[in-house]
Amino acid sequence: MRILITGGAGYIGTELVYLLEKEKAISEIVVYDNLSRKNFNLLIGKSKLTSKKVRLVMGDLLDSRKLKTKVEKADVVFHLAAKVTTPFADYNPHEFDQTNNWGTAEFTYLIENSKVSKFIYVSSVSVYGASEKELNINAIPNPKTFYGISKWNAEKHVQRLQNSKLDTYILRLGNVYGYSKSMRFDSVINKFMFEANFKNHIRIHGDGNQMRSFIHIKKVSSLLKNLLFSNLQPNTYNLVENNYSINEIVDVLKQIYPDLEFTYLTQNMNMRSLKVSSDSRINSLCETKESSLLDSLLEFKREFSF
Give catalytic residues, as residue numbers. Answer: 147
CA pair distance 31, 56, nearest whole angstrom: 5
Say how many C-beta atoms besides its own lie within 10 A of residue 292's C-beta.
10
Alpha helices in 88-145 (DSSP H): 93-96, 104-112
Cβ atoms 177, 220 nearer than 8 A: no
Burial of 232 (0-12, 13-18, 19+ CB in 10 A): middle
Helix (H) or strand (E) holding 161: helix 146-162
Phi, psi of 191 (to 5 degrees): -65, -45
Cβ atoms 172, 237 nearer than 8 A: yes
CA pair distance 118, 302, nearest whole angstrom: 37
Cα radius of gyration (the chain): 19
CA pair distance 237, 225, nearest whole angstrom: 15
Burial of 138 (0-12, 13-18, 19+ CB in 10 A): exposed
Nearest to 159 by CA among 219, 213, 218, 112: 112
Contacts of 287 (CB under 8 A, 6+ apart): 222, 226
